[in-house]
Structure 1
Amino acid sequence: MSIFHNRREFLALTGAAAGALALTGCGTGSGSGAPVADGRGKPRRGGRFRALFTGGGEQETIDPHAEALAIDMARTKALFDRLVDLDATMAPVPRLARKWESNADATVWRFTLRDALFHDGKPLTPEDVLFTFGRILDPKATTHFAQSLLSVIDLKKSRSAGKNVVEVALKRPGAEFPALLGTLGTAVVSSRYTDPAKPVGTGAFTLKSFRAGRAFVAERFDDHWDGGAYVDELRILSADADARGNALRAGEAEYGYEMTPTFARTVQADKSVRILAAKGSTAHAIVMKCDQEPFDNPDVTRAFKLLADREKLVQVVLAGQGVVGNDMFGKGYQYYPEDVPQRTRDVAEARSLLKRAGALNKTLSIYTSAVATGFVEAATLFAEQAADAGLRVKVTTGASETYFKDQLAKGVMGSHRSGAMTIPNYINDRLLTKSAFNASGWRREDFDATFAKAQSTTDAGERGKLYGRLQRTVRDEGGLLIWGHPDWLNGVSSRVRGMEAAPPNTLDSGRFDKVWLA
C-alpha cells in the first residue's frame, strides 16, 4: 500500500506547494521556472528529479551494505559507488576500480583505483576499500547482504600495494571475483564511515535528508569523479504501483519503478509518459523438486517441460511483455549458451515419457502465491496445459508474506522468479547442493564439481564452455521449467533524457546521475 494517504500529502513530500504547480512546473526548475533544452539536445544542469519506488516502510535503509529493497539500492547508488559494476549482459565493468588483474590461479586480485573524492573531501585510498570489506564481513553484522558472497576474501592477507592499488587475497581460486564486487551490498565506504545516518561515500549525490518509509532528498556532488549529476536535487519516494502511475501521468514524478504490463499498454498513446522496457530481463519459472517423487526421475521433469505452451504463457500471463524461456537462466547474459535449440511443446512425447515413468495417473500440486504478479495465473494456465496429457494438477495458494520460505518445504512444485544477476551467482545461490535457495532440490556432486572448476578457470573461453555445460545439464535434467523472461518495465516522464532501458541490478538501472530534464 502507498504511504501517501492523499494527494496533498504526496505533493508535500515532492516539494510542490499546490496541485496546479505540480502539473506545470514542479520538479523542473532549479529555483523557479522550468529548464529548457538548449536546442541541440545536449545535457544541461538544473532541476529536481523525483523517482518513485515500492516502499518498505521502517525497514528501508541507506546503509549500502544492508540494502535489501529496490528503493534502498536506488538511494545507495546515488550516495556511493562500487569498485566494479555490471553491464546489461551481467559482465563486470570498471567503476571506482579503473582496472584489475589476477595472478595465475586467481587467488590474488589487484585493483587499481581511480582518483575519486569522498563527500568529506578526502581521497579514495586502498585502506578505504579494505575497511569496506571488513565492514561487510563483520560477523556481527547479520544484515550485510554480500557477506556470504565475499566470504571468499582472506582479509588478513589482503593489503594496500601502493597509493592507488589494493591487493585482495582469496581463500580459494575465484575467476569471477570482479563480478562479485558488482552485486548487491558491495559499495565502497570511507574508513571514517561509522554512522549509517551520516553516509560518507563517493557517489554523485550527497545526502540532504532521509526518512525511512517516507522520502529521501539528495543534492548534486560537484566533485564526483565521473562528472557529477546534471540535476540539482534528487528525491526518491515510496509509492505503490497505482500511485506511481498516476503521479507519472499527472507530471508529479519523473520516474516510476517497475510498472505493470497493464500500465505500459495504457500509456502507449500518452505523450507525457515513456516506458523503458528492458527485454526479457528477469525469469519466471515453475520448479519441480528433483529430490522428491515423481521428479526424481528426469523423464518426468522433461515431460513437464514439453507440456508448457510457452508462447501462450507469455501472451496471457505477461500480456506479451516478455520472451519465451528455454529452461535456462540468464537469457542474453554473459555465459548463456545461445546455440541451444528452443524447446517447444510436444504433448505426445510428454505423454510417452510420463507413461514410461508411471506418472500419468498421479495428482500433483503446484504451490503458488499472489506474492508476485503472474504466479497464480501462470500456475493455473500451466495446470490446464498439463491436462492435455491427461495429468491432474491442482493449484494450491499460500500466504504471500512467507511464500518464498514456505516454498522450500511445501509441495513438489512451485512458482519461481528471479531478478537479474550473473549466471554464476544464480547457480551458486539456487543450484548447488548447499545452496540456501535451492527450490528445485537439485543436488549433484558432479555438477558442484564442474561449477567449482569453472570458478577457478582463468581462461575466459574455457570458463564459458564450463558454464555452458552446466546450463545444458540443468535444461535437460534439472527441475527448472523457465517458461518466460518478462520485460523489465519502468516509466519516465517524456521530459526525461539520459535514461535508457536496463536490466535490474545493473549499472544503468535506477541510475540518476546522468539524467537531465528537457
Structure 2
Amino acid sequence: MTFTQTAAALLAMTAVGMASAQTVRIGNQGDALSMDPHSLNESLQLSVTGNVYEPLVARDRNLKVIPGLATSWRQTSPTVWRFELRKGVQFHDGTPFTADDVLFTFARAAGEGSDMKSYVNDVKEVRKVNDHVVDIETKTPFPILPDVLSLLYIMSKKWSEENQATRPVDRRKGIENAASFRANGTGPFRLRERQPNVKTTFQRNGSYWGKIEGNVVNVEYTPIGNDATRVAALLSGQVDVIEPVPLQDVQRINGSGKSKVLQGPELRTIFLGMDQKRDELLYSNVKGKNPFKDKRVRQAFYQAIDIQGIQRTVMRGASSPTALMVGPGITGFDPALNTRLPYDPEAAKKLLAEAGYPNGFEVAMNCPNDRYVNDGNVCQAVAANLARVGVKINLQAETKGTYFPKILRRDTSFYMLGWTPGTYDAHNALNALMRCVDDSGAGQFNLGSYCNPKLDELTNKIQAETDKTKRDAMIREAFKIHSDDVGHLPLHQQALAWGVANNVSLVQMADNFMPFRYFSVK
C-alpha cells in the first residue's frame, strides 16, 4: 500500500468514526407494537416504520404530496390511475424493487389481518403493465387516490414469501411473524436491532436512492413510559429527543439551558366511541338492551363532559376543544360547524331520565395510558364528569400494547381513540371512522359500529367529486348528519410537544411523524 493509499484509508476510517458518533437517542412514552407496516394503522407505528419502508406517493416536511417509489402518476380514465415506478431502487437486502412488489403489497394490505384495509377498500384491481408501471383501478372515480396511498408502505414480495410473512401480523389475535421483528424496506434507514419495549436501533441506508438531508447515522429508539423518567433522561443527556413532553415540564425544559420544547398544533382529533350495534352491551349493568342505541343517552354523555375544564386543568391549555371528527388543517374542515353542544349536567340528567335511566347506569370505559397526551388523566376526568349525572364509569386504563388489540376486536362498550386522517382529507375520517362497517375495510375503525346510510351515500359521492365547492358542501352535510346523530363524542385536538437537545435539529410535522432523514447533530 502506498503512502497515498494509507493516508486515504486513515481518512476513511476517521470519517467512519465521526459518523458513528452521529447518533440520536429518542425516548418515547410508547413503542411501535410491530415492525410490520400493515399490522396497525397507528401514527406512532407508521412514523417509526416509515423510516424503513416507503410508499408510492410520499410527503415532504410540509405534508405536500411528492414522488416516492412512484416518480409520476396520472389518470388514464376516470377510474384508472397509472403509476410510473422508480427504477434502480433496491430493498435493504439488495432485491430490486419492481411492480410485483406493488401488486403484492396491495393484496397484503387488503387481506386477512391487515389494519390498512381502509386505504385500499375502494381499489378494484392493481395490474402490472411492465416491471416499472402499474395501473390501479378503483371501484368508482377516486381523484384523491395519490393522497390515500401516502401511508401504504411497499414490502418486498420475495422477502415476505421467504420469511413466511405474506400476511400481516394480526395484533387482534396475537399472531406474530418475521415482519414484526425484522424489516426489509427501501427507506433511508435500515432496522438494525429490535427489542420490543426495550430498544430499537436504526442505521442510515448507505445505498439509499434519494437524498437524506440530515447527518445522523444511527438512531436509538427507547420507550420510556414514566413521564418523570423521560424528562430526567433528556435533561441528563441520556436521550436527545423525547415525545411527548409532560405539559407541566415545558417551562422546566425550556429553562434548562440544555434542551428546548418544540410545540405546535397537531392534526389528530381525540374522541370517544360507543358500541351502538349490540343489543346488549358487553360491559354494563344494563341487561336486555343497549343504552347507546338511544341518541338521548349519547347526547347526555356529550353534555356531561366539561371539555373546557379538561382543557384548563388536565391539558394545561394545550388542546383545542372540538365538535368535529377532524380539525383545522384537514381538507373539508368547516369552522362554522365546529360548535359543541353546551356543557350542561342538568340537561344530561334530564336526557338520561327521558331515555329510561333516571338513576344512570354503569358501563366500562377502555382507555390507553401511554398513547395520547395525558390520555389516562383525560379519561379519569370524563369518568368524574359522568359520575355527576349518575353514570358510573368502570375505567380500564392500560398500555397501548394490550389496549389496541382489545378495542380493535371491538371487545369494548365505550372507548377513547385518536385519529389523524392519513390523507389530510375529511374523506379519510368519514370512510374509516363514520361509515357503516363492511368486510372490505369501510368503517374499519368505526369500532362502535355507528351507521347512517345517508352518510355512507355522501361519503361515496365525496370520494368521486372533483368540483371543490360541491365536494365541500357534501362534506359539511355529512358531518352535520354525524353531529346531529351524536355518532361519536369528539373531545379535542391535542398540541404537539417534543423535547429536543440543543445540539439536535429536526423537523416537527403536524401529523406527529418523526422522519429520521431530517435529524442532524451539531
Instruction: Tell whether the structures are fold-level matches, with TM greater than 0.5.
Output: yes
Structure 2 counterpart of 1:82, which letter? P
Aligned equivalent of 2:257, options 246, 256, 271: 271
Structure 2 counterpart of 1:238, which letter? T
TM superposition shift of 1:511:
0.6
Structure 1 counterpart of 2:337, which letter? V
Alpha-carbon RMSD across the aligned residues, in angstroms, is 3.8
* SS in structure 1 at match of 2:472: helix
2:120 alignment partner in structure 1: 150
Q: 1:88 to 1:385 in 2, by over 3 A?
A: farther
Structure 2 counterpart of 1:165, which letter? V
1:97 alignment partner in structure 2: 70
Unaligned runs of 5+ in 1: 1-28, 36-44
1:48 alignment partner in structure 2: 23
1:228 alignment partner in structure 2: 212
Cα distance in 1 for residues equivalent to 2:448 and 2:380? 19
TM superposition shift of 1:86:
5.3
1:398 alignment partner in structure 2: 396
Cα distance in 1 for residues equivalent to 2:340 and 2:60? 28
Q: Note the 1:54-453 alignment, pairs <5 A.
A: 54=29, 61-66=34-39, 72-85=45-58, 92-105=65-78, 107-115=79-87, 117-118=89-90, 119=92, 124-137=97-110, 139=111, 142-147=112-117, 149-155=119-125, 158-160=127-129, 164-183=132-151, 186-193=152-159, 194-195=162-163, 196=179, 199-242=183-226, 243-288=229-274, 295-298=292-295, 301-302=298-299, 304-343=301-340, 345=342, 347=344, 350=347, 354=351, 357=354, 361-365=358-362, 367-369=364-366, 371-372=368-369, 374=374, 377-382=377-382, 385=385, 391-398=389-396, 400=398, 405=406, 408=410, 411=413, 414-422=414-422, 423-434=426-437, 435-453=443-461
Cα distance in 1 for residues equivalent to 2:352 and 2:193? 64
Cα distance in 2 for residues equivalent to 1:363 and 1:89? 47
1:20 alignment partner in structure 2: none
Cα distance in 1 for residues equivalent to 2:345 and 2:184? 62
TM superposition shift of 1:144:
3.7
Q: Kindly provide the CA deviation profile for residues 25-46 of structure 1, in whole angstroms up to 9, marking residues without a partner as x.
A: xxxx97667x9xxxxxxxxx97
Structure 2 counterpart of 1:239, which letter? P
Q: 1:202 to 1:317 in 2, by over 3 A?
A: same
Cα distance in 2 for residues equivalent to 1:60 and 1:403? 11
Q: 1:52 to 1:513 in 2, by over 3 A?
A: same
Q: 1:494 to 1:302 in 2, by over 3 A?
A: same
TM-score relative to the length of structure 1: 0.75
* SS in structure 1 at match of 2:267: coil
Cα distance in 1 for residues equivalent to 2:386 and 2:190? 54
Unaligned runs of 5+ in 2: 1-13, 164-178, 278-288, 438-442
TM superposition shift of 1:516:
0.8
Q: 1:437 to 1:120 in 2, by over 3 A?
A: closer
* Alignment check: 8 A CA contact 1:276 1:501 kept: no
* Alignment check: 8 A CA contact 2:83 2:134 kept: yes
* Alignment check: 8 A CA contact 1:314 1:324 kept: yes
Task: Indicate the larger mover: 297-306 or 423-432.
Answer: 297-306
* SS in structure 1 at match of 2:309: helix
- State whether structure 2 residue 469 is matched by structure 1 residue 464: no
* Alignment check: 8 A CA contact 2:275 2:412 kept: no
Q: Quick one: percent identity of the two aligned structures?
A: 21
TM superposition shift of 1:342:
2.4
TM-score relative to the length of structure 2: 0.74
Cα distance in 2 for residues equivalent to 1:192 and 1:450? 40
* Alignment check: 8 A CA contact 2:322 2:493 kept: yes
Q: Kindly provide the CA deviation profile for residues 386-422 of structure 1, in whole angstroms up to 9, marking residues without a partner as x.
A: 677xx322222236376564695655xx342213224
Cα distance in 2 for residues equivalent to 1:258 and 1:216? 18
